[in-house]
Structures are given as structure tokens and as C-alpha cells.
Amino acid sequence: MEVVIVDHPEQVMADIVENAVRGGAKTIGLATGSSPLATYDELIRRHRDEGLSFAGVNAFLLDEYVGLVPTHPESYARFIRDKFTDHIDIGDVHSPDGMAPDSRIAADAYDALIAEVGPVDVQILGIGSNGHIGFNEPSSSLTSRTRIKTLTEKTRQDNARFFDSFDEVPMHVITQGLGTICDAKHLILVATGSGKAAAVAAAVEGPLSASCPASVLQLHRHATMVVDPAAAADLKDADYYKYVWANKP
């Protein structure tokens, strides 16, 4: 895994996405939540000011709440449009159907669509304070496919800031599985702030374990973790990662 420790992770993240798109990438994977927002803002700026075009590119969201209509202010289908895709010239934006009568069937259909249109060229990821990526909570199978998941109380508490109350945070989601995520050609994960330091260290330097779902990146053929110094605070080999980045060929 490549670990990049920089003051402005959004710049490196945007560079990776821009290079992929300008190089002919046709499919990108998008994460929601607060971690990628600065990256999306930078990509919007490059689209507006520097002519970065996403025309012909398909996007796939990682996950969606079960029971929220796509127009709900806190649905991820709405979130990604408000924060990113409505501001660029991207092609189709796909997300799991959180209102499907049978969430299991909807999950299987979404996994099949990713396989049909993909593979995803570059997948943007965040990381939860408990090490989850997408909504693959601790104990998730490292080879799991898109499916319905029950959120932990911790994740619901973390997300309650986006809702009027904790009770309004849905308990279930449809999420790409860790196996589905790892089908992407390049995984890029961004983390900022001291609150993510323990999860980052577990993912990078801890054992490969379902207890830290993000540790699955250790198995991926092309995974990059981009973190700021606060999120890197618990990394034992931080100096080595900085040296490698400074001397990258």
C-alpha cells in the first residue's frame, strides 16, 4: 500500500482522479461523507477553471441508506449530486436503490451492474473511525459483495450530525462489499484529522482482519492512502512513508 502524508490530501487525491480521467478512465467510484468533500471541491474547481472534463465517465456510489428516497436531503444519491456531480459534466451516476421492495435483490442487481459497466477505474474511499469503508462494518467478510448491512450504533452516532436527531438515522444500508470494492483497478482512500488516526494505523500497519475492514487494502494490487499529519499520527513508519513519497520515481 502506498501511504502519502501531506498537508493537503485533496490535492493528491484530485491529481490521481484527474490523471485517470485524462488517461481515458470511463468509470469512477464515489464515496460520500465528509472525508472526500475537499477532493470534490478541488475537482469541481479544476473542471471550472482548468477544463477537466468528465464527459463519458460513469460514476458508482458506494452505498445508500435503506428507506430514504433519492430526493431526501440525507440520501447519498442527493448528497453526491449536491456536493459534486451536479457541478461537473459527468455521464451516468449510479447508486443502490434504497427504496426497492427487496433490498437483497436490489443489492445483487447493483453488483451485477458494476460488473457489467466496470471495472471501476479509480475508487474514492473514506474511512470510518472504526475502520469501515463503504458501510462495511467490523466483522464484514473481506470478500463480501454488495449487500444489505446493519449499521453499528457508533456509525449511526457519527452520522447523526447530518440528521435532526439520532433516531432519524437509518439502521440499514445497501453497500458495496469489500470484494466488490477491491474489483476496482485503483483504490484511493483519504483521511484527515486525529479522529481517524487509530483507524488509519490499523488499516495500514495492523493485521489483515475483518475487525478493521479497511485493512483489506493491504491485499489490493494498487491502493493509495492519502492522509494529513493528524490522521498519520499513529503510524509507526510515518518517516519511511514520507521518504518514499519524496523520492517516488
Q: What is the pLDDT of residues 93-119, one digit of tens each?
A: 999 999 999 999 999 999 999 999 999
Please indicate whether residue 94 is annotated as part of the active site. no
- The stretches of 118-237 forming alpha helices (DSSP H) are 153-159, 178-181, 197-205
Which entry of 97, 137, 158, 183 is annotated as an active-site residue? Answer: 137
- CA 113/CA 94 separation, integer angstroms: 9
Please indicate whether residue 42 is annotated as part of the active site. no
Please indicate whether residue 58 is annotated as part of the active site. no
Q: What is the pLDDT of residues 130-157, one digit of tens each?
A: 999 999 999 999 999 999 999 888 889 9
pTM of the model: 0.95
Dmax over CA atoms of the chain, in Å, equals 53
Please indicate whether residue 130 is annotated as part of the active site. yes
DSSP codes joined into one string, 59-122: EEESEEETT--TTSTTSHHHHHHHHTGGGTT---EE---TT-S-HHHHHHHHHHHHHHH---SE
